[in-house]
Structure formats: C-alpha cells, structure tokens
Structure 1
Amino acid sequence: MLLLSAAVAALPLTAKPLMDTAQVFHLGEVKVFEHQRTFKANQVSDDFIKSADIQRVSEALNWVPGLIVQEAGGRSEAGFTLRGISSADVPIYIDGVPMTAPYDGTVDLYRLPAGMLSKIDVNKSASSLLLGGNTLGPSINLISRQPQKPLELHFDVNTLWHGNLNVGGRWGQWFAQVDIGYANVSNFRLPHSYPTDSPYLDGHKRLNSRTRDVNLNAKVGFVPNATDEYVVGYTLVRAEKHIPPYLGENGKAQFRIYPEWNKDEVYFHSMTRLTPTLTLKSRLWYDTFKNTLDSYDDFTYSTQQGKQGWTSIYNDYALGANANIIWSTANNNDLKFGVNYKYDVHRSHNVGEPVAHLSEGIYSFVMEDEARLNRQLSLTASIGWFGRQGYKVEEYNSKTGISDLPNSHDSNINALAALDYHPSANQHLRFTMSRSSLFARMKDRYSYKLGKAIPNPDLGTQNAINLDIAYEGRWHNLSWQAGAFYNFINDIIQEVTGVDASDPKIYQLQNRGKAQYRGFEFGAGYELSWLTAHANYSMTDQRNMDHKDLKFLYSPKSKFTAFLELRPIWHLRLQGRLIAQSKAFSSSNGSTSTAGFATIDASLARKIWKTDVKVGVLNVADRVYEYTEGYPLRGRTWYASISFDL
C-alpha cells in the first residue's frame, strides 16, 4: 500500500477526461456556450462516480479542481467553497431547477446521492445569466439520466449501507426514468490515534453520528419529433441526521438531532420549435423544504427543559418559472431572450410559539447572443437586469409576539462576455469576463443564528468582477489542463466577531469593503490500456483589501488530488485515490483553524459478466482529519460492494 501511495503522489498533475454518458438528460443542461464542449476538468461523469466508489454529491465535487468540500460541523452537513466562494453563494441546480433552500441559499449535499446522476457540471467563473441565479459567478448543475434503450438497469449496494437502483426505458416517443437511493449509516469510528477521554465517545465510536436517507428521482418524457420535448419530473429527499457533539476546545457541546430533513420538488421542462428559427424552452417548478431540529439539554437526548432545549421547525416552499426564446438569426448565430422568477417563502417557529413568515421574489430579464465566428472561434455576450423584492418580514419576540419589520428591495445589472477558441481538435482555450451580484439572503439579514449572531437587516448586495482563462489539450495518451482566475468582490459579506462586549464569540454579518480572490489550477493525466492516472493542484489566495486581519473561513489555500488505477492481469482493477489540502481557518479572527491533511482510499475490483465486485478501504492511513474544528471524521474503514448493469 505504501508503494501504491508513492506511485499516486508521483503522478503528473492533471484530470482524466471525464466523458459524457449516453444517458445525459440534455434538456436539463445549461451552458454558457450551447454549441461548444465543456471543460472536462469541470465535470464529474457517471463513469467516474461509479469507478471511484462515490456515494454522495459532496464526495463527487471533491474531485473538481478549485473546489473544497466541508463536511460535518454544527449542522452535520456538507457544503463547499469554490475558488474561495462559499456554497451559500453558489446556487445548486438539478436539471436547471434550483435545489437550494429559500431561507439560507444552501442545500446539504450529503443528502443527495451521486448514483442518480449522469454527470455534474461546475461553472467556476461565470454561469449563464439565463439561469436567473443569485450568485457571485459560479453555479453547479446536477444532471439526471435519460434512457436511450427499451430497458436500462443499474443496481449497486455496499457494506457501508449505501445502495442505488436506476431503472429506465425508451419506447418510441416516450421515455421514463426512476432513480432510487438509500443509505442507513451507523455511528462511525474515529482514527485509533484520536483521544478517547471524551464522554461523547464510546471508545473510538463517534456517538450520535448516524444518518438515514431515502431519495427518489422520477421523470416521464414525451418526444413527439426531432425538435420538441416535454418532461414532468419529481424529486424526493427523506432524511434523518444526528449531529455528533463538538469535541474541540474552543466552544461547548450541543446535543441536536434532525428527525426529519425533507425536500420535494415537482418540475416541468419543455422545448418547442415554434418556427424554423424560433425555439421556446421553459421550466416550471414547485419546491418544498421541511425540517425539524430537536435540541436537548444534555447527552441523554431525553429532556428539553433548559436553555438549550427547544424544537425548531422550518416549513418553506418556492415557486419558479423560467422561459427562454432562442432566435436563430443565422446558421452561426443564436440570439436568446430569457425571463426568470422565483418566489421564496420561509415559515419557521419553535414548538409552542407562533409562526413567523419571510418572503421575497427574485427575478431577471436577460438577453444573450452566441456567435460562432468560424469553426474554431465562438463569442458569447449577455446582459441582464436582476432584481429582488421583499414582501413580508416578520419577527417573533417572546415579550411582544409577532411584529412586522420593514421589507427591502434591490436591483443590479449583470453582464458576461466569453471567448471560446479551438486551435485544433485536441486543444481548447476559453476566456471569460463577467459582472455578477449576490443579494443578501433572508437568513443573513434577519437570523440570530441560535444566539450566535446579531441580525443585520441593512446588509447590502455583494458585486463581483470575475476574470477567468482556461486551457485544455491532449496529445496521444497524455492530457493536460491549466487555468487562472481573478475575482474582485465589492461590499463582501463576512462574519465579524467582537460586536457584543458581553460575549466575544458573538458575530454579525457585515459588508466589509473590497476583497480579491485569485489563483490557478493545473494538472495532467495519462492513460493506457492497463493504466489510468490523473492529478490536479489548485491554489486560491483570498484577501480583504480594506480589513486585512479578517480571515476567510473553511477555505484552504491549496488542494491536491490524484487518482491511479492499474489493470495488470485477469481484468483486475487496483485503484488508489488521494485528496490533500492545507490549513483552513474556522473563525474570522484566526483564533481557530483546522490542520492540513491528506487521505488515501484504495480498492480492488473485478467485473464478471455484468456484475462488478469490489473490496476497498477508506482513509488507509487512519489519519485524524477534520473540515470543521472540533468535528473529526471517520478513521480507517473497510467495505465491500457489488453492482450490476443491464
């Protein structure tokens, strides 16, 4: 195993080309360049998800250069930073439909199984304005499956109690797809070198860390001809997650359980050729998000009588519509007009208290032109007006009851320009420049963060100028990619501690001047009949230009990933996977941080007819590591899996 680890670390730095599968739901894709290929380093394919034993969307995203996943923490959820930008500021879509919660703009990516997807597209610098997103530039689109044959079947299960079932078929003008995921994960074990003197551990077992998830994604489609398509779909998430108590030295333990974390989404996609030169694309959706958080007095999880004892209930929903008219003004030019509206409602209360309502609408009007100047060169330019209107703002106070607060509104003009150049069939160069804006979330403006923060109703909008250049190439069996970026952010929102003299840990979200994020990514890969090797290195430097002492949270400066698969004899596949990252701060004043770490996973597999059998081990070296200070993650874990494809 040491030889395998050394071999992985010695690889040239890159990303293996991640090929699209035939089961991609193309109506769910949204591209800056509709007629050009996407950079492979910015995708995670279904093939790679299966090969690398990836179970959750958060695990898949960990292989995208420049993206840093954060797991665990006080909400026991998976988020990320993308080139320094927090996941709360990066919208997540499934087939172009927003998945993020109305209140705080986040979604727990550990609740979403990667097994239901055909691929993941990550727009790092600038996503299409036609999405209508509220973003500082990047976006992530999870693209589901669309069957091509009369019967398509995949099934997998492993000893970590994860399983997926994908069944689909296409019959003439109709198709249907059903994807089911299930996970029932027991309390995990920490590395053997971790101290066991905490009352919240049973030996090395991390108590109250279990989770249970049930996922469903189903769609039915009608394709009457070569140009039109209509799809109705439904996505369901049912989860129960336990939050293990804090084990660090810079805070106190809390005892919490989410007995329900539920999400439902119904959507409709359509594409209709109105005339030979006009096409209408539309999306409609209705999304609900319901969760219950129980907080207990102590580690017995039995009483809720003290200050820490309460039950919080969210019952949110969102309605949305998106329509785009595509006018093919010439064989080499498409002019697009887009309108987007999303109505968000947040309803919350603690048991025994009245329900407080928050609601707002976010809308946009966009014009975009894509010109294919020749076979090698394409240019896209777009401009849009984006607005936010607050409708209802209520606050509950135990002394005064429910009261109305003033609402607010804001608007911005965003723009994008991108140049795509293919000097040859195996080379691809893209330059992107954009201006984007992010309206402050409802939670950012009005939440007390369970007593940890002071609300800031006057929190302003962040604006960003993003510059990005990316290049990828291939020569015989060798591939490579490189990129550099610069983001200038004005009125950046950051946590500021020390705003309450009675408690130095209380913070407030404030607009803290100007910041710049800059960095680069590079890598290379090599592939033979018996070998696949790829690796990537990314560096992100973040600076607040007006308040230089403020630290950026959960955002390591450097990250390195490497993948090696050997196929020596008898159709065996010996695989090693390495993820390493540097130190990250956990508080804005720099008083707490997490150490840098590297983890190695390995597996041995063989395919027999249509069945793949595999044994593997996670965290081979049994390293102690954590993404959030005080929340260490699992130690060495063995597993076996079996999958079947028809």
Structure 2
Amino acid sequence: MQAHTNNNPYQRLQCSVLSVALLISLSCFASAHAEDTDKTGKPFELGRVVVQGQKATRSAAGESAISREQLDTLNRETVGEAVAIAPGVSLSHNSRNEAMVYVRGFDPRQVPVFLDGIPQYVPYDGYIDFDRFTTFGLGEIHVAKGAASLLYGPNTLGGAINLVSRKPTQPLEGDVRLGAGSRGERKAAANLGMRKGDWYLQAGWSWLDADSFPLPDGFKDYKAKPTDTGDERENAYRSDRRASIKLGYAPGERSEFAIGYVKQDGEKGNPVYTGRASGGIRYWRWPWWDKESLYFIGNIG
C-alpha cells in the first residue's frame, strides 16, 4: 500500500496564498471590532462576579446580562422593570405595593441583590423593593438563575442579581435625562465620566418622583365603598434620589483598584385597599427608604 503525496507546486502555492489572505481578514476584523468597542463606555469590570470553569457549569448557572442599550431602548427606569425582561424572571407586587422579582419561582430572600458585588440587604424581613433602585447609573445588570456561583456568597439558593455600575472609556463622557408625566411625575438624571491615563472617575445623580397616578372615569361608581373619590389614587406618592461616585486606578490589563460611594434616599406611600378589609383601612407610609454604601474593590492580575 503506497501513500500518495501531492508534489504539485502550483497547488501548494495556492493553498499558502489562501491561508495568508484568511489570516489577514481575521486580523482586520478583530482590529475593527476593538476600535468600535473603545468608542463607547463599558460596564465596571470590578463590579462583575466572574465564574470560570467548564462550559457545562456556566450553562447550568444560566447567567444572562441586560445591557445599557437594552435599558435605554425599552425605557426601563427601575431595576424591577429591567430584570423582568430576562428569561425565567417575573415581576409582581406584594400587599405593601413593593415590586417583587421572582427568578424561576424564588423570591428575593433566595435571590439577593448586589451592587458591584456588594450585597444590598433589608434587615426587616429580607424583601427588597426593586422599584427603589433606579437604572440611570448602571452599565448592565447580571441575572444568575438556579445554581449561582458561591462567589456571590450566602442566600443564593435561587440565583443572584448583580447591578454593575458604569466605567468611563473616554477622556470626557456623559449624558443628561429629563422627563415628566401625569399627576406630577418627573425625573432627572445625569452621568459624568472622565479618564486620564490609568485613572478614571465616574459620578452619577438621579431623581424619580411622582405624586400619584390617575384613576379611570367611573372608578368611584364601580366600587361600593371607594376610598378614592377623586380622579387620582390616594397615598400613591413616591420619591427616589440617588448619588454615586467612583474613583479607579487600572495600572495593567488585569490589575484594577476602585473605591466607590453610593447614597440613595427614598420615601413612598402605599395605596389603600379598595375592597372589604376586615382589619379596616390602613394608610401605610415609608418616610425613609435609605441606603448608603462605601466600598473598595481591587484585583491584581
């Protein structure tokens, strides 16, 4: 049995030319893609919780990301509205009119919320009101479903939700938002990012406020004993203010250090129950729904 060897020099030259052309095309595509990526801001790398392992392990975690572009396109102003677009996630409201997110059936006590990997807890009963967290200063949102990584920490039986802040890539970048709606609803937000060499600074401020929301015509005639006799819902006000600043230093490709500060002040009212309440009508109000975080994150690669 003889082995056949191709000694045709023309065919060997043709194969070599095709290989060189393919390598040049791939190099140009990678260079163009890198240039397009550097023109816009990107999420804060240290805020991510990165899991490394086999492909089957990452697939089992079912982690997905909601980008800044998706938040802007779909006009998702609160975290509750934003994560509801992820597969396997549903949005509901409890008896206190708090936004509750369920990840594959697990409630917030089994799916904690993180900001740049820092846990955001509510000591009273563990239920986070997802409407109190705005999305104006976020770069992306990560939703881990099912067997979340142990790097997130405890209480992640049903998954984890990580809010990743922004990180500037240009010497000066930013955006401003203004809006208004019915019944005194108004919003304003501003983000500013600066980068010089290995140093960068990211700051943000947002305000989301509403006095009430309108009721349909004939509402008071529809209910036998209505608690709202006007054209708007009573005790349905809300106000959320948030300010953040982050200073970072990235001396190498895999080395980065950042210190951040976040403060949010909120207050809200709970619209009363319009049915037949055995315990009477209760007007619930939360004059303080405040959180404050100061944190340092570092990575040496």
Are 2:76 and 1:57 equivalent residues in the alignment?
no
Q: Deviations over 1:458-486 (max 9, x none)?
A: xxxxxxxxxxxxxxxxxxxxxxxxxxxxx
In 1: Cα distance, 2:117 partner to 2:154 partner: 10
Structure 1 residues 364-389: Cα deviation after superposition (integer angstroms, max 9, x where no partner): xxxxxxxxxxxxxxxxxxxxxxxxxx
The alpha carbon displacement at 1:231 in A equals: 0.5
CA distance in 1, matches of 2:62, 2:157: 22
In structure 2, the partner of 1:270 is 298
TM-score normalised by L of structure 1 = 0.37
* Inter-partner Cα distance in structure 2 for 1:122 and 1:173: 30
Task: Give the direction of change, closer, same or farther, for the CA distance of 1:40–1:24 in structure 2 (3 Å limit).
Answer: farther
How far apart, in 1, do the equivalents of 2:53 and 2:113 lie?
A: 20
For residues 270 and 243 of structure 2, what CA distance do their matches in structure 1 show? 24
In 2, Cα distance between the equivalents of 1:35 and 1:227? 21
Q: Which residue of 2 aligns with 1:136?
A: 157
1:27 pairs, out of 46, 58, 80, with 46
Alignment of 1:113-512 (within 5 A): 113-160=134-181, 161-192=186-217, 194-196=219-221, 197=223, 198-249=225-276, 251=278, 252-273=280-301
CA distance in 2 between counterparts of 1:171 and 1:254 reads: 54
Q: Give the letter for the 2:247 counterpart.
A: V
How far residue 199 of structure 1 moved from its aligned partner, in angstroms, is 4.4
Question: Which residue does the alignment assign to 2:5?
Answer: none
Q: How many residues align?
A: 253
**In the TM superposition, what is the alpha-carbon distance from 1:155 to its structure 2 partner?**
1.0
Displacement after TM superposition at 1:194 (Å): 4.0
Separation in 2 of the partners of 1:136 and 1:191? Answer: 41
Deviations 1:26-80 (A, max 9, x none): 1111133479798999322111111112111111112112211123x43332112
Deviation at 1:250, TM superposition (A): 5.1
Q: CA deviation at 1:200?
A: 2.4
> Which residue of structure 1 lines up, in the alignment, with residue 102 of structure 2?
81
Q: Distance in 2 between matches of 1:138 and 1:131?
A: 9
Amino acid at match of 2:297: H
C-alpha deviation, 1:169, in angstroms: 1.1
- Contact residue 175 and residue 221 of structure 1 kept, 8 A: yes
Q: Which shows bigger deviation, 26-35 or 235-244?
A: 26-35
1:584-599 equivalences in 2 (<5 Å): none
Does the C-alpha gap of structure 1 residues 139 and 156 become closer, same or farther in structure 2, counting only changes over 3 Å? same
One-letter identity of the residue aligned with 1:27: L
Kept in 2, the 8 Å contact 1:240–1:261? The answer is: yes
Shift of 1:24: 0.6
Question: Displacement, 1:85?
Answer: 0.8
CA separation in 2, counterparts of 1:22 and 1:126? 31
| Structure 1 residues 35 and 163: alpha-carbon distance in aligned structure 2, compared to 1, 3 A threshold | farther
Q: Which has the higher helix share?
A: 2
Residue number among 45, 57, 64 corresponding to 1:42 in the alignment: 64
Alignment match, 2:24: none
CA offsets 1:158-210 (integer angstroms, 9 cap, x no match): 11312221111111111011111101111111344644544421433101101
CA contact (8 A) 1:41 1:65 kept: no
Partner AA of 2:92 in structure 1 = Q
Query: How far apart are the structure 1 equivalents of 2:89 and 2:143?
Result: 10
Whole-angstrom CA distance in 2 between matches of 1:93 and 1:35: 25
Partner secondary structure for residue 206 of structure 1: coil
SS at match of 1:87: coil
Q: Which has the higher strand share?
A: 1
Counterpart of 2:295, as a letter, is Y
Query: Relative to 1, partners in 2 of residues 1:41 and 1:30: Cα closer, same or farther, differing over 3 Å?
Result: closer
Alignment check: 8 A CA contact 1:41 1:64 kept: no
- Tell me the alpha carbon deviations over residues 376-427 of structure 1, each in whole angstroms, 9 at most, x when there is no partner: xxxxxxxxxxxxxxxxxxxxxxxxxxxxxxxxxxxxxxxxxxxxxxxxxxxx
Instruction: Report how far residue 249 of structure 1 moved.
Output: 3.1
Q: Which runs of 5+ in 1 are unaligned?
A: 1-18, 274-646
**CA–CA distance in structure 1, aligned partners of residues 284 and 134 of structure 2:** 24
Q: Structure 2 vs 1, CA of residues 193 and 23 (structure 1 numbering), >3 Å: closer, same or farther? A: farther
Report the Cα offset of residue 82 of structure 1. 1.1
Q: Is the 8 A contact 2:62 2:144 kept in 1?
A: no
CA contact (8 A) 2:193 2:202 kept: yes
Q: Structure 2: how far apart are the matches of 1:114 and 1:69?
A: 16
Identity %: 32
Letter in 2 for 1:210: Y
- For 1:168 and 1:202, locate their aligned partners in 2 and report how far apart those are by CA, in whole Å: 48
Question: What is the root-mean-square deviation in Å for CA atoms of aligned residues?
Answer: 2.4
- Maintained 8 Å contact 1:92/1:139: yes
Q: Greater Rg, structure 1 or structure 2?
A: 2
Partner deviation per Cα, 1:223-278 (whole Å, 9 max, x = no partner)? 122232110001111011111111123544211211111110111100123xxxxx
* 2:270 counterpart letter in structure 1: I
Contact 1:76–1:241 (Cα < 8 Å) also in 2: no
Q: CA–CA distance in 1 between the matches of 2:217 and 2:211?
A: 18
The residue that corresponds to 2:29 in the other structure is: none
For 1:111, the equivalent position in structure 2 comes to 132
CA distance in 2, matches of 1:204, 1:65: 37
Give the letter for the 2:215 counterpart: L
Q: Match of 1:536?
A: none
Q: TM-score, normalised by structure 2?
A: 0.77
Residue aligned with 2:136, SS: helix
Partner of 1:436: none
What secondary structure does 1:133 align onto? coil
Q: 1:49 to 1:34 in 2, by over 3 A?
A: farther
The residue type equivalent to 2:168 in the other structure is P
Q: Which runs of 4+ in 1 moved over 6 A?
A: 34-41
Say which is worse superposed, 220-229 or 175-184, in terms of deviation: 220-229
